[in-house]
Amino acid sequence: MKDYVIGFDVGGTRLKSGAVTRRGKMMAPGINPSGFALGMGNLLKAFRGEVARISEKLGGKPQAIGLGFPGAVDPEVGVVYLPGKLKGLEGYPIVKRLAKATGVPVIADNDGRISIYAERHYGLAQDQDWAVSITLGTGVGSGVLLDGKILRDPHLQFGTQMSHIVMQANGGRLCITNARGTADMMCSATALANQVRDGLSRGIPSVLSDAYFKDADSIDFKAVIRGVSRKDRLCVDELQHWTRNLGWLLVSAVHVYAPERIILSGGATNAAEHFLAPLQQHVNEHLFRHPVGEGVPIMLSKLRNHAGVLGSAALAWEKADGDKL
C-alpha cells in the first residue's frame, strides 16, 4: 500500500476523484455524475463509494480526503453559501458527515482556490510567487497566488470571484449572483454553447442546425468546437466573441492581482488551439502595466482536466500533515 490521499472535484455536471501520492502521482481516477438534482444523500453516497473503491484498490485507507466545491466554502463544514447551484449543498455539513462515515480526516475548499493549489504544488506555479489560475468549464473558477501565498479572507472567497465580475450589466444573462453579464455568463464553456444555441434558435444557418432542432441540449461546447473545425460561420463568429470576452476578463485579472503568468485549465482548454493565440494577443494589447509593452503569458495547465482532483489532494496533504491553512 502506498501513502496517499483522495481528492474530489465537484463540478456542475461531474464528480471527479482520484488517489494522489505526496509527489503528485494520481491513481485510480473516477468520474461520477453530479448536478443540481443529485441531492446531498446521493452526493455523500457517491463520496463514500469512491473512498471504498479506491481504498480497496490500493489496499488501505487514505491519509486524508480533500473536497473542492463551488461557492463560499468553510474548510471544516463544506459549502456555506451557494444559492441554487447544487440542491441541498448550502449549509450541509458534508465535511463532518464524510469524516464520520469514513474515519478519515476531511477538508474542503472552493474549487477555484483548489486550482491554484494544484498549480502551486504540482504544476506551473511551483516556481512562481505571483500567478492566477482560471478554470473554464460549466462555470468560471479562479485562484490567486500573491507573493507566494494562497490567501483566505473572513468571507472565504478571496481570489475565487473572477467569475462574478460584471462585464455586461445591461442585457447580459442573469447570474446566480443576481447580476447580469458576469464572467460566468460570458466566459464559461457553457456560455459559448448558449451563444450558439441562441443563434440556432433564431434560424442562423449552421452545420449544427439539424442537431439543434433534433435535440437542443446536444449543442454543447464540444459540438461548437466541431463546428469551428468545419469553419461554420456561426460557430466561428461566436467563438471569436467568446474569446474577446475571456480576454477582457484576463485583462481585469492582471490589473487586480498583478500575476506573472495566467494558467488556464478546465474542459474548454482542450480546444485551446482554436482560441489561445488571439486570446494572448488581446490581453497583451490591452494591459495598463509597467513596464509598458510587456505582456503576461497565458499558459495551459499541464494538469488540465485533473487540476481539481490534484488541488484537493494537495489540500488533503496539508490536513494529513497538520499544516495550518
Residue 305: pLDDT band with limits 50, 70, 90: confident
Under 8 Å between Cβ of 321 and 11: no
Q: What is the pTM of this model?
A: 0.92
For the record, the C-alpha cell of 150 comes out as 494562497
pLDDT at residue 8 greater than cutoff 70: yes
pLDDT digits over 168-198, tens only?
A: 998 889 998 899 999 999 999 999 999 999 9
pLDDT digits over 218-269, tens only?
A: 999 999 999 999 999 999 999 999 999 999 999 999 999 999 999 999 889 9
For the record, the C-alpha cell of 122 comes out as 504540482
Residue 1: pLDDT band with limits 50, 70, 90: low
Domains of the chain: 5-116+306-321 (3.30.420.40), 127-301 (3.30.420.40)
Three-state helix/strand/coil letters over 94-148: HHHHHHHHHCCCEEEEEHHHHHHHHHHHHCCCCCCCCEEEEEECCCEEEEEEECC
247, with CB counted inside 10 A (0-12, 13-18, 19+), is: buried
The CA-atom distances, in angstroms, between 167 and each of 2, 139, 249, 281 are 47, 15, 8, 19
